[in-house]
Chains A and B, each alone.
Chain A
Amino acid sequence: MAKVIGIDLGTTNSCMAVMEGGEPEVIENAEGGRTTPSVVAVNPKTGERYVGMLAKRQAVTNPENTVSSVKRLMGRKFDDPEVQRDLKWLPYKVVKAPNGDAHVVMGGKTYSPPEVSAMILQKMKQDAEAKLGDTITQAVITVPAYFNDSQRQATKDAGQIAGLEVLRIINEPTASSLAFGLDKKKQERTIAVYDLGGGTFDVSLLSLGEGVFEVKSTNGDTHLGGDDFDRRIVDWIVAEFKRDAGIDLRQDRMALQRLKEAGERAKVELSTVLQTEINLPFITADASGPKHLILTLTRAKLESLVQDLIDKSEGPCLQALKDAGLKPADFQEAILVGGMTRMPAVSELVRRVFAKEPNKSVNPDEAVALGAAIQAGVLKGEVHDVLLLDVTPLTLGIETLGGVMTPLIQRNTTVPSAKSEAFSTAADGQTGVEIHVLQGERPLAAENKSIGRFILDGILPAPRGVPQIEVSFDIDANGILAVSAKDKGTGRQQKITIQASSGLSKDQIEQMVRDAEAHGEEDRRKREEIEVRNRADSLVYSVEKLLQEQADKVPADLKTEVDGKVSAVKKALESKADAAALGSAVAELEQSMQKIGAQVYGQMAGAGARTEGGADKGGADQGGKGPDGGTVEGEFREV
């Protein structure tokens, strides 16, 4: 069955997504980009048409036939004051159609804005079909909340022209809210959507009740966006250079090009670091020789350069609040959409105006498209309540030798989920194992939450490491964990049922994860020490067993040597020597043990004697054991 795609048809950039496995995924275009510039061009000589990045690349040589930001003209009349205003700086020709609509001219022909938008949609449709390997005939397309009927109809028309049945036109802020999962809590919510993109700013206040989104008010600035920020940076670089070197780089088109790119890069970097270097050697030259540009731009300086732009967005926010009759305290969520919101200063303004920490959990460039895909999924009946899957918030496992936690189900695993692993006994003749169920991220059992405990007994006496105990964890969709331990030999089984996520709030969970990270290094070391000890212990056991069983094949001097090494390891274990000392004693012992093996096999080759039984096999197992191997006194180890 064909998929329905969600499309964010933006002013500067467009993006598309589709539901896969119950979650929205962005679809890359043919060039490998996750967004596609909303630009279309026609080569006037060949009639060849370009869409997206290709159109952008030839814009400079063909400005009259390159149409960008056509969204500004969708559903509008030529005499619209907005259109008349934009006319002044749009490099392509805008004309009045017979019916009064604003049309554009490309390659000598006239097109309606829906026709141009359709070209963009068509490319996205084709690219999606190529990526998904399936025909696409239906879509959900987003529009700004303030779009009127004719603008919405124009968008629907565009879809139709592109060969897409538009199942629905939804508002961009609503789509974003879906992407942020705000409809899942099944509560009444008031949401502020702050969308600062490449060229436009929109603020929308929504209320969500009984699954229905209602737009309370909208406001914004149709000419405020990331591009303005970029210009400020270039202005500053030019000013600085003029001051230092006395040269006006604005006169040099090529230098300006480099400046623009460097400025954009710097802007992006300063969202994550506090300062960055703008390094442009050989930017220009004068009589005295080549000139270089090197400037440090701090985040603080950048903020001062663009503060007035950021502040410009405050007015519309306050007006929207007024129009809706709402106060910041009325909002449960403030979400950030649009690439420019990555800037800390922008996020800070939102925090200040809406008096809460803004929600940044979804990629701001993709949120609208993802939301459109979710809506598409709902319309196709792909999203059911029963499919709203949860994840287990913390790792689940059991305690094993040395007090470590051996995980069975990792945190953030989608449930339902099941996992089994085989364990064994730690001591010879051990007849029972205790399953201690733990929840948490720390490597040591004691530092995690104990959520259950039971004993499986009746294990037949056997050498340690021989019995096979299968431990299974099974979590159902409700988060109920069933742990069972089964002795594969006797068939005896014990199990318990635990409410795995009981008692821990979201904050507590996050704190546990943070703790684990903070103690990561220290915990890792402790765990390693324990594992080295376990290995040493196992090794001693194997070697002693081996010596016993092969006593007749081992010459006296070798036996003495091995005994000595074994004592060394035992002593290191007892005296709780550090990992390094223990490690070297173990290495010594392993070497000696190999000599025994050589002896035994050597004699065997000569005398054709029967191969050993479990001892060497046990030895080989010990030698090959990964770091997880080990036994616990009275408990059990992994096989």
Chain B
Amino acid sequence: MAQAEARAKEYLDLLQRTQADFRNYKKRMEQERQGLREQLRGETIARLLPVLDDLTRALGEASQEIAQHPWVRGVEMVQRKLLALLETEGVARIEAQGRPFDPWEHEAVHYQESADHSEGLVLAVYRDGYKLGGRVLRPAQVIVARHAPAAEAPSPSRVGDDSELKGDAPEARGG
């Protein structure tokens, strides 16, 4: 009898946990579902961005002689239209040029040694990044300024070397 009771108690507990699990799962699924539409939209747009990249690249390569040609002008309009459409969808370009490098929004693809710029400054944008409603669709690929590294210290505790390199005060990290 006691065994049966114990078993019944076990089953009840199991049932309660399963129900609770189920409810929590439902809640989480509901949350995820609401985010899903945005996410799918973002993914689709992100997949199409390479086309915008190539278009921008193409226009960037227009030589002086042809830059004013009506055909080139027309292609510029195509690019503008695409950008406008993206803007309507809520897509915003990530500002990177001249800003401090921020891995949330930027991906460093190269560095350039420059004593004139503070370390960690974005010198150039290689490929634009975009945000959709606050979420990063694709980080901007950037080239970051770097100062020449100090001579290799034999032991790792020589932290002091860094401070000798700094020309400016470190860039305040925004947000």
- Tell me which residues from 104 to 130 in chain A have a Cβ below 8 Å from any Cβ of chain B: 105, 108-110
Interface mask (A577-603 → B, CB under 8 Å = 1, otherwise 0): 000000000000000000000000000
Which secondary structure dominates chain A's binding surface? mixed
Known contacts A21-B25, A109-B156; decide if A257 and B109 are in contact (CB<8 Å): yes
Is A46 positioned at the interface, with any CB of B under 8 Å from its CB? yes
- Tell me which residues from 286 to 307 in chain A have a Cβ below 8 Å from any Cβ of chain B: 289-290
Q: Collect the chain B residues with CB atoms within 8 Å of residue A211's CB.
A: none
Is A20 positioned at the interface, with any CB of B under 8 Å from its CB? yes
Known contacts A61-B101, A61-B120; decide if A44 and B162 are in contact (CB<8 Å): yes
The answer, among A45, A57, A281, for a CB contact under 8 Å with B106, is A57
Is A58 positioned at the interface, with any CB of B under 8 Å from its CB? yes
Is B110 positioned at the interface, with any CB of A under 8 Å from its CB? yes
CA distance A22 to B15 in the complex (A): 12
For residue B55, which residue of chain A has the nearest CB?
Answer: A281
**Cβ distance B46 to chain A, nearest Cβ, rounded Å:** 12
Known contacts A45-B119, A93-B156, A108-B159; decide if A282 and B111 are in contact (CB<8 Å): no
CA distance A93 to B108 in the complex (A): 21
* A contact residues, range: 35 or more
Whether the Cβ atoms of A50 and B54 lie closer than 8 Å is no
Whether the Cβ atoms of B57 and A282 lie closer than 8 Å is yes
**Cβ distance B53 to chain A, nearest Cβ, rounded Å:** 9
**Cβ distance B44 to chain A, nearest Cβ, rounded Å:** 15
Is A273 positioned at the interface, with any CB of B under 8 Å from its CB? no
Whether the Cβ atoms of A21 and B103 lie closer than 8 Å is no
Known contacts A21-B18, A282-B58, A384-B14; decide if A60 and B108 are in contact (CB<8 Å): yes
Q: Collect the chain B residues with CB atoms within 8 Å of residue A55's CB.
A: 103
The answer, among A20, A64, A281, A289, for a CB contact under 8 Å with B21, is A20
Q: Collect the chain B residues with CB atoms within 8 Å of residue A46's CB.
A: 170, 173
Whether the Cβ atoms of A282 and B61 lie closer than 8 Å is yes
**Cβ distance B106 to chain A, nearest Cβ, rounded Å:** 7
CA distance A382 to B18 in the complex (A): 9
Q: Collect the chain A residues with CB atoms within 8 Å of residue B144's CB.
A: 60-61
Whether the Cβ atoms of A57 and B110 lie closer than 8 Å is no
6 extra interface residue pairs, beta carbon distance < 8 Å, beyond A60-B108, A61-B108, A109-B156: A20-B21, A21-B21, A32-B39, A57-B107, A282-B57, A387-B14
On A, residues with C-beta under 8 Å from B are 1, 20-22, 32, 43-46, 48, 50, 54-55, 57-62, 64, 93, 95, 105, 108-110, 131-133, 253-254, 257, 281-282, 285, 289-290, 382, 384, 386-387
10 A-B pairs closest in CB distance: A108-B159, A54-B103, A61-B108, A57-B103, A57-B107, A282-B57, A105-B156, A61-B144, A60-B108, A61-B111
